[in-house]
Amino acid sequence: MCGIIGILGDHQAAPIMVDALKRLEYRGYDSAGIATVEDGRLDRRRAVGKLVNLADLLVSDPLAGKAGIGHTRWATHGVPSVANAHPHRSGRVAVVHNGIIENFRELRAELGGTWESQTDTETIVRLCESFLDRGMSPQDAAFATVDRLRGAYALCFLFDGEADLLVCARAGSPLAIGHGQGEMFVGSDAIALGPLTDRLTYLEEGDRAVVTREGATIWDSNGARANRDVVRVPVDSQRIEKGGHRHFMAKEIHEQPQTLSDVLDLYLDGDRVSPPAEVDFAALSRLTIVACGTAYIAGTVAKYWFEQIARMPVECDIASEYRYRDPVIDPEGAALFVSQSGETADTLAALRHAASGAKAILSVVNVPESSIARESDVAFPIRAGVEIGVASTKAFTNQLAVLLCLAVLAARQRGAIDAAREAAIVGELRRLPGLMSLALATEGRCAELSHWLAEASDILFLGRGPMFPLAHEGALKLKEISYIHAEAYASGELKHGPIALVDRTLPVVVLAPTDALFEKTVSNMQEVMAREGQVLLVTDAEGEAAGGGGCRAVLRMPACDPVLAPILYSVPAQLLAYHTAVHKGTDVDQPRNLAKSVTVE
């Protein structure tokens, strides 16, 4: 979601901060702004819309100073406007804020007066200014302010007359401090700081920090001085460029054969699965998988694998619902949390809830330094690299690959699979990057089909078995970036209500590899065609020969072992959504109202 940058540097901060904020555009935003201190004077510039609007403003109305803070805002309180944009300021203090202050209304009532914005963040600067008015130092005023806040936040304060001071705090939203040579930086993630430094200190939950050009002093949630590690986190600049593609999403779709190869090299050893971290599934009674969005869909696919291959009972929960339904936590079971960023607020809160009762806390994450990874007993990396497009692609397929590897490991440990079957699945996994390359060769056909799909107002996705959650992924991708209403159903559920939607105007995408459920899927598909539904069948050559007759169109996929089909068939789901969005002219990489890393409830 919102992005933060803070600089205490040797050079003019404004252009550096704008460049850093460009690297954070992938998080989703509706306005942007910066504030600096020059000759002891605090000043700021803000603009609605894309960063180019802020850049244009800075040309006509420059902002000097070597100390500053900047922000890209994703609206939570108040419409996108200059008044609601960050940094927020009150007199001698400015702040940038990611998160939500839950008690801002009572603080507003206490502070009184008139307000410039509709945001919760303005409450922070007004409260801090009130402490400054009582004679407190900037550091003490910032800390006193944080003491009064309830909710989730990553904060960076800048003060009038203080060109060598940033005060930071973190609760429920990530924040990192970057170390340079006589310079210091603050950022919401490593990408923001990548070209500036690769030496980062990640603040932990409840930490507060005072940053000067000489370094950072950190206190933990109990007020004790804390020694946090400085880690090297190099960011490959090539990973945050489009590499000749029109959009980051297109680039990331085409990176999947390589990213899958990278992660499988980590998890496979000869004919066996050998993950980089240890867990004993035989000692666990059951598994609860918790996640949000696309990561949740990956978890629902994994439910099929763990139950069918490992014979292990599995529940799947949407993270935002998990703790509020007051689940019965099995003390002999494990909870597994899936998150691309490792900072998803609902997933992190669910993890903390489960940690009080589960035997083991596991996670599947893309960022090893993330909060979810650090707070897990065992964290399994997915090695997808930086993913800029808001609609997840390569992170999803790598999540699936890791979850399948873990299901095979669980099967071996629980005695549910023999060495020959494990070797066969491992062999198929080794073929997967090549199969993904063949699947990507369908792009031209997907682009042709997108012209038809782009004309629809509603689209239905169908699948059976593990292809049912993948149908949800196809519908989600299409909704996210093309803004076409799409729904997914289990094929066998169609006649229990959704078939009422079917007419000659409705495209129905059927994901049907040749597997044990193929004939049943074809029967359900015939029910659609009998009502003039326009079917797009996504299948292999055998499936096309057996069930392609009467379809509006067929998208032919390479044949594969059915266990791999949810991973392989992700490609056409992604390509159909991508090209439909391109044909409609929507903002593919930064779709409206969405954010990449959702760090608020």
- The answer to whether the CB of 302 falls within 8 A of the CB of 407 is yes
Alpha-carbon span 232 to 382, nearest angstrom: 19
Alpha-carbon span 89 to 44, nearest angstrom: 8
Q: How far is CA 294 from the centre of its chain?
A: 9
Nearest alpha carbon to residue 44 among 19, 24, 69: 69
What was the pLDDT predicted at 1? 58
Alpha-carbon span 547 to 541, nearest angstrom: 10
Written in H, E and C, the secondary structure of 529-586 is HCCCCEEEEEECHHHHHHHCCCCCEEEECCCCCHHHHHHHCHHHHHHHHHHHHHHHCC
Alpha-carbon span 98 to 186, nearest angstrom: 13
What was the pLDDT predicted at 487? 94
Per-10-residue mean pLDDT of the chain, 601 residues long, equals 89 93 78 94 94 93 95 82 93 93 93 91 96 97 96 94 96 89 90 86 93 96 92 64 83 94 96 94 97 96 97 96 90 96 89 94 91 94 89 96 98 96 96 95 94 95 95 96 94 84 90 91 85 91 90 94 96 96 91 65 53
What was the pLDDT predicted at 596? 57
Give the CA diameter of the chain: 81
Element holding 298 (H helix, E strand)? helix 293-309
What was the pLDDT predicted at 598? 58
Active site includes 596? yes
In 3-state terms, what secondary structure has residue 462?
A: strand
What was the pLDDT predicted at 315? 96
Task: Report which residue type is found at 63.
Answer: L
Let me know the angle formed at the C-alpha of 430 by 429 and 431, rounded to the nearest 5 degrees. 90
What was the pLDDT predicted at 238? 42
Alpha-carbon span 119 to 136, nearest angstrom: 25
What was the pLDDT predicted at 237? 46
Cis peptide before 276 (omega within 30 of 0): no
Catalytic residue among 2, 128, 292, 316: 2
Please report the DSSP string for 309-336 in residue order: HS---EEEEEHHHHGGG-----TTSEEE
In 3-state terms, what secondary structure has residue 168?
A: strand
Name the DSSP letter for residue 521. Answer: H
Strand duo 67-73 + 31-38: pairing: antiparallel
Task: Report which residue type is found at 261.
Answer: S
What was the pLDDT predicted at 525? 82
Catalytic residue among 22, 303, 477, 596: 596
Please report the DSSP string for 242-283 in residue order: -TT-SSHHHHHHHTHHHHHHHHHHHHEETTEE--SS---GGG
Alpha-carbon span 535 to 544, nearest angstrom: 12
- The answer to whether the CB of 172 falls within 8 A of the CB of 345 is yes
Alpha-carbon span 202 to 214, nearest angstrom: 18
Active site includes 168? no
